[in-house]
Structure 1
Amino acid sequence: MTWIDYKHIKASVNILQVLGYYGIELQRVGGRHLKGVCPLPGHSGDRSNTNAFHVDTEKNAFNCFTHCGGGNVIALP
């Protein structure tokens, strides 16, 4: 059985690469922060969350400030 090194993946995959792969466009709001519409499944079709989704490129993490929660590159769909 092959083991997946999640620590290595988190360290080597940039969250912007993952967002770009899925075609998710966000607006930069500071040096390392981006925000925009939450692309997570809990918001399917709901565009009222215009600034709910925030990304911190330095921490390589995201957070939805409505109800989806947060995570890292592994937690993105």
Structure 2
Amino acid sequence: MRDLPDDDTWIHERRRAIGDRVRAERLRQNLTQDAVWLAAGLSRWTYQRVERGEEWKSSTLLRIAWVLDVPLATLVE
């Protein structure tokens, strides 16, 4: 078992990496942000927060993974 780092910067870095993978997959599929957030039943604001690496719910990532037709693990690895 590992001890947590002294600060939470690692959390922001991990969220940012997930947001980057979401964006990369969306662009790989030649989709717009609007197409994804509408299909996922999210607000534009919520979807943009994901791509920026800000806080989100696990259900939000599950919806995005479903719409992009990729395993959730692909986005969070």
TM-score greater than 0.5 by the shorter chain: no
Structure (1/2) with the larger strand percentage: 1
Structure (1/2) with the larger helix percentage: 2
Structure 1 length-normalised TM: 0.30
